Amino acid sequence: MSTFNFAPLYRSTIGFDRLFDLLDHGSRPNWPPYNIEKNSENEYRISMAVAGFRPEEIDLTQQGGNLVVSGQRKVEDNGQNMLHQGIASRSFSQTFNIADDVKVAGANLENGLLSIDLVREVPEAMKPRRIEISTGRPIHQDNRPKQLEDGSEGRKAA
């Protein structure tokens, strides 16, 4: 695998340190295998193959921009003599970097597949809004004294 030198970019960018850290140290463990799907504009799903794990052995934690999925399998000695063990029983921890406005909507474990539903909740202040353009009189601040309810004029104290 080839490596890239991001040093020239460090000199000309400000505030992208986290992005470059992800690029430099972006290797992920390859177990358990997972898929990331985009179901709609604001809905995502992470599917992880976690065969052999029960729901109580899997922990999901969202903290800021990180979603941590970890599994700690409780191995019971039931006297089995395994000739071949292809289903992994080792513990795992997988961290996903998610945007601040993405939240976990729910999780489901069925047939060895853990599905984590994510939804982007864009705050009203961050949504694009259309600004009407008026014609005629220019917009300026009105500095005239306001009429109070009792009929007197209100002025700012100097």
Tens digit of each residue's pLDDT (9 = 90 or more) over 110-140: 998 999 999 988 777 777 778 888 787 666 6
Q: How far apart are CA 28 and CA 69, in angstroms?
A: 13
Residue ranges covered by each domain of the chain: 32-74+84-124
C-beta neighbour count of 144 within 10 angstroms = 6
Q: Do 105 and 119 contact (CB within 8 A), yes or no? A: yes
Secondary-structure class of domain 32-74+84-124 per CATH: mainly beta
Quote the mean pLDDT of the chain.
76
Position 109 scores a pLDDT of: 92
Q: Could you tell me the two tokens for 45?
A: 């799903």
3-state SS of 6-65? CHHHHHHCCCCHHHHHHHHCCCCCCCCCEEEEEEECCEEEEEEECCCCCHHHEEEEEECC
pLDDT tens per residue across span 133-156: 878 766 665 555 666 566 555 554
C-alpha closest to that of 107 among 63, 50, 52: 50
In this prediction, the residues of the chain whose per-residue pLDDT falls under 70 are 1-30, 76-77, 137-158
Q: Do 119 and 103 contact (CB within 8 A), yes or no? A: yes
